[in-house]
Amino acid sequence: MLHTNLKHVLSKEEHQKLISENENVMICCGRMGPMCIPVYAAMTELENEYDQVTFADMEFDIPDAAVIRNAQECRGFMGLPFVVYYKNGKLVHATSSIQQKGQVEKILKEKLLK
């Protein structure tokens, strides 16, 4: 399990439940590495500002993370973390590699909260 203050998604069933029960979801699928930690930090800050978005993490190396790793939108990704954004259960945007709070917030506003 990742050592973050975010909600942890531990299985593909939890992943499906999370995206089906929440209108706006952001999941960061990664490790506790230097490219991932800034994204978790940004998400933790933004979680307090955007209560209409559910923020969660998922450990990249667990077998059930294949629901994110193998998503069509993530196929060409080479760097961690894989960050996916869901609107009404549908994957609407995906990014990879390090991101700062402003970059994440821009995606939230453009893809989930428009």
pLDDT per residue over 57-73, tens digit each?
999 999 999 999 999 99
Residues of the chain above pLDDT 70, percent: 100
Span 89-105, pLDDT tens digits: 999 999 999 999 999 99
The DSSP element (H or E) to which 42 belongs, if any, is helix 37-47
Domain boundaries, the chain: 7-112
The C-alpha atoms of residue 37 and residue 87 are separated, in whole angstroms, by 24
The C-alpha atoms of residue 34 and residue 22 are separated, in whole angstroms, by 29
> For the domain 7-112, what is the CATH code?
3.40.30.10
